[in-house]
A and B are shown apart, each in its own frame.
Chain A
Amino acid sequence: MVPLLLAAPLVLYMLAFYALPVLAMLMRSISDPTWSLTHYKDLAGDPVFIKVFWNTLETSFIVTVSTLLLGYPVALALVRAPKWAPLILILILLPFWTSVLVRSYAWMVLMGRHGLINEALLAAGLLERPLRLLNTPLATQIAMTHILLPYMILPIANALRQIDPSLARAASGLGATPFASFRQVTLPLSMPGVAAGVLLVFVLALGFYITPAMVGGPREITLSMLISQQVEELNWAYAATLSAVLLATALGIIALFYRLPGIGNAFTTSGR
Chain B
Amino acid sequence: MIGRVLPTTVVALILLFLALPIVVVMVVSFSSATYLTFPPPAFSLKWYEAYFGNADWLRPTWLSLWVAAAVVVLSTVLGTLAALGIARLPRALRIIATGLILSPLIVPVIVVAIGIYYAFSRYGLVGSPFGLVLAHTCLAVPFVVTSVSASLAGIDPRLEQAALSLGATPMGTFNQVTLPLIRPGVLVGALFAFITSFDELVVALFLSGSRAITLPRRMWDDLRFQIDPTIAAVSTLTIVLTVILMACAHYLRKRAEQTRMSTSSVAP
Contact = CB atoms under 8 A, between A and B. Distances in A.
Interface string A226-247: 0110010000100100010011
A104 to B, nearest CB: 9
B1 interface: no
Nearest to B17: A146
Contact of B79 (A10, A114, A203, A246): A10
Interface string B62-82: 000000000000000011011
A11 B81 CA distance: 11
B107 A247 contact: yes
Contacts of B231: 105
Given A14-B101, A21-B119, A106-B235, A119 B18 contact: no
B118 A25 contact: yes
B116 interface: yes
Given A73-B10, A114-B35, A95 B105 contact: no
A108 B223 contact: yes
B32 interface: no
B21 interface: yes
Nearest to A225: B110
A19 interface: yes
Main secondary structure, interface of B, reads helix
Contacts of A239: 114
B141 to A, nearest CB: 6
A116 B24 contact: yes
Interface residues of B, number: 80
Given A17-B137, A101-B220, A110-B20, A7 B89 contact: yes
A20 B15 contact: no
A93 interface: yes
Given A10-B81, A105-B223, A99 B216 contact: yes
Interface stretch (B42-50, B159-167, B176-184, B199-207): B199-207
Contacts of B201: 99-101, 210
A102 B195 CA distance: 13
A106 to B, nearest CB: 3
Nearest to A272: B192
B58 interface: no
A91 B199 contact: no
Contacts of A52: none
B238 A102 contact: yes
B260 to A, nearest CB: 17
B135 interface: yes
Given A17-B138, A250-B106, A272 B143 contact: yes
B243 interface: yes
Contacts of B100: 11, 14-15, 19
Contact of A114 (B37, B118, B120): B37
B106 A95 contact: no
Nearest to A19: B100
A198 interface: no
A18 B192 contact: no
A26 B115 contact: yes
B258 to A, nearest CB: 16
A100 B18 CA distance: 13
A174 interface: no
B86 interface: yes
A106 B38 contact: no
B22 A7 contact: no
Given A9-B82, A26-B115, A251-B106, A3 B89 contact: yes
B108 interface: yes
Nearest to B192: A272
Interface string B121-160: 0000000000000110110010101100000000000000
Contact of B120 (A5, A21, A227, A246): A21
B138 A101 contact: no
B114 to A, nearest CB: 5
Interface string A75-112: 00100000000001001111101111111011111101
Interface of B: 7, 10-11, 14-15, 17-22, 24-25, 28, 35-38, 78-79, 81-82, 84-89, 93, 97, 100-112, 114-120, 134-135, 137-138, 141, 143, 145-146, 192, 195-196, 199, 201-202, 205-206, 216, 219-220, 223, 227, 231-232, 235, 238-239, 242-243, 246, 250
Given A99-B199, A107-B21, 15 more contacts: A3-B87, A3-B89, A6-B85, A7-B85, A10-B79, A88-B15, A94-B243, A98-B243, A101-B219, A108-B223, A206-B108, A210-B202, A231-B206, A250-B108, A272-B195
